[in-house]
Structure 1
Amino acid sequence: MNIGIIGAGNAGRTLGSALAKQGYSVMLGSRQPEKLAEWVQIENADNPSIFVGTFSEAAAFGELLIHAITGRKAIEALNLAGETNLDGKVLLDVSLPIDFTEGRMTLFTQTGESLGERIQSAFPGAKVVKVMNHIAAGVMVNPNRVADGDHDLFMCGNDAAAKQAVSTLLTQAFGWKRIYDLGDISAAQATEGLALLASRVASVLGHGMMNFKVSQSTSS
């Protein structure tokens, strides 16, 4: 499968590298793809399956797309990717509506909305699946770095088949064990908000190699 990644920051590069190692052909989209030349050369030394291009080239390349640009530039990048290149495709969205004010992380979305919903509204032909937006990139691709993988992901989106495709990818490529489907894309209000809690917990721990686990009662 060809996977296009919109964004070549830490999350995009980490996801791209891990997916290439699992046998996927990956193209990272960037505003300045030439700046990735050295990184791509190193990554492709043993397995030449990572390519770079513009946002639109990456979106056209991918049969499944990952959106990995966080902040106010997120929708702008998808506009550059091109609506026609997004139409009909699964868009695994790890972005967050974050601002940093005086060193403190906040969300720029209003109560009752999310960036995931904004993206789905702006690109109705895309099949947006919000997942993994509250965890560090290193945990995204290797859940065993935390508690031997005994922790959970939360996923939401309007298209059931798209969510199944994302769940299969994350299970097979990265080894995730439990992914909770929280319903339609409106649940992104909750999962994006969870990033604020994760940020606070990580600051107490002094590192971001952490995640949350759902524990259920064994009796009714």
Structure 2
Amino acid sequence: MTNTQATKIAVLGTGGGGRAHAAKLAGLGYEVHVGTRDPQATLARTEPDMMGNPPYQQWLADHPGITLNTFAEAAAAADEIVINGIDGANSVQALTAIADAMAGKVLIDYAVPYLYGAEMEHPWPTPWGTMPKLDPCDTDSLGEQIQRALPAVKVVKSFVTQEQETVVNPKTVGGGEHTMFVAGEDTDAKKAATELLTAYGWSDVLDLGGIVTARGLEMHAGMHSAIGLALGLGTPFGVKVVR
């Protein structure tokens, strides 16, 4: 499925998740504008990032047609949809700074509000170190915080329950027979997010309701990690809601 009208879409963040979305969207025919805090600094890096991804300059050269801008420039260029791949700890501050550029647009947020290095009475050891703490959790969510901070933006929490490489290629797991979720206050915004998921290849998208349900989506991060550890690191998997 391709987008013959070459709709402009923004992806904020240059990590592995942001790269997965940018590459998939470009392949679908979208005009992709990637946002980063400092484009020159991003392009100047010559070493892999903390997750082992190759330098962005090298990745960008392998994906012609994708434009690298500041967060604000990328968001302003988008026709309707901005995808948030900024790390959870910095999302609210970074997005608030570019609120004007996103006013009236749909922000699909998949950030997890992880707090790394937090003191915990009962830490959860993993092969990559202690599992980070979710903050906020239970009584609030990052999705809600973003919506409160950007009232003129239509926030949809989605993508967050899955590795982003699988979000953009769902049929690589079980032929695509698993479930993705959307949450938010604006029905049309959730429809736009669902249409994008359909373009990615999803056939089962469950609307959970208002943005308050982002709490459950973000808290799923722990369950996702537990399943991943049980199956073996790097094993792709999906979750299906059977009804």
TM-score by length of 2: 0.83
CA offsets per residue over residues 165-186 of structure 1, 9 Å max, x none? 11011102x1101100000100
Query: Counterpart amino acid of 2:8?
Result: N
CA offsets per residue over residues 29-61 of structure 1, 9 Å max, x none? 0123232333222111xxx2x100111111111
Compute the displacement of 1:10 (Å). 0.9
Query: Counterpart amino acid of 2:68?
Result: V
Task: Say if 1:106 and 1:196, in contact at 8 Å, map to a contact too.
Answer: no
- 1:12-161 mapped onto 2 (5 Å cutoff): 12-34=18-40, 35=43, 36-44=56-64, 48=65, 50-63=66-79, 64-80=81-97, 82-101=98-117, 102-161=129-188
Identity of aligned residues (%): 35
Task: Say if 1:6 and 1:77, in contact at 8 Å, map to a contact too.
Answer: no
Task: Say if 1:5 and 1:65, in contact at 8 Å, map to a contact too.
Answer: yes
Distance 1:121 1:160 in 2: 17
Task: Say if 1:154 and 1:181, in contact at 8 Å, map to a contact too.
Answer: yes
CA offsets per residue over residues 111-131 of structure 1, 9 Å max, x none? 211000000000000000000
Query: Number of residue pairs matched?
Result: 210
Query: Counterpart amino acid of 2:172?
Result: R
Task: Say if 1:105 and 1:196, in contact at 8 Å, map to a contact too.
Answer: no
CA offsets per residue over residues 119-156 of structure 1, 9 Å max, x none? 00000000000001021111011001111100001110
Compute the displacement of 1:208 (Å). 4.8
CA offsets per residue over residues 188-214 of structure 1, 9 Å max, x none? 001111111001110111125112101
Task: Say if 2:89 and 2:113, in contact at 8 Å, map to a contact too.
Answer: yes
Query: Counterpart amino acid of 2:170?
Result: P
Distance 1:109 1:210 in 2: 26
Who is 2:126 aligned against?
Answer: none
**Distance change (3 Å), C-alpha of 1:110 and 1:190:** closer
Compute the displacement of 1:71 (Å). 2.3
Who is 1:202 aligned against?
Answer: 228
Q: 1:181 aligns with which of 195, 207, 215?
A: 207
Question: For 1:133, what is the secondary structure of its paired residue?
Answer: coil
Distance 1:208 1:197 in 2: 15
Unaligned 5+ segments in structure 2 are 1-6, 44-55, 118-128
Q: 2:13 aligns with which of 7, 10, 26?
A: 7
Task: Say if 1:134 and 1:198, in contact at 8 Å, map to a contact too.
Answer: yes
Distance 1:51 1:136 in 2: 24
Runs of 4+ in 1 over 6 A off after TM superposition: none
Distance 1:112 1:69 in 2: 22
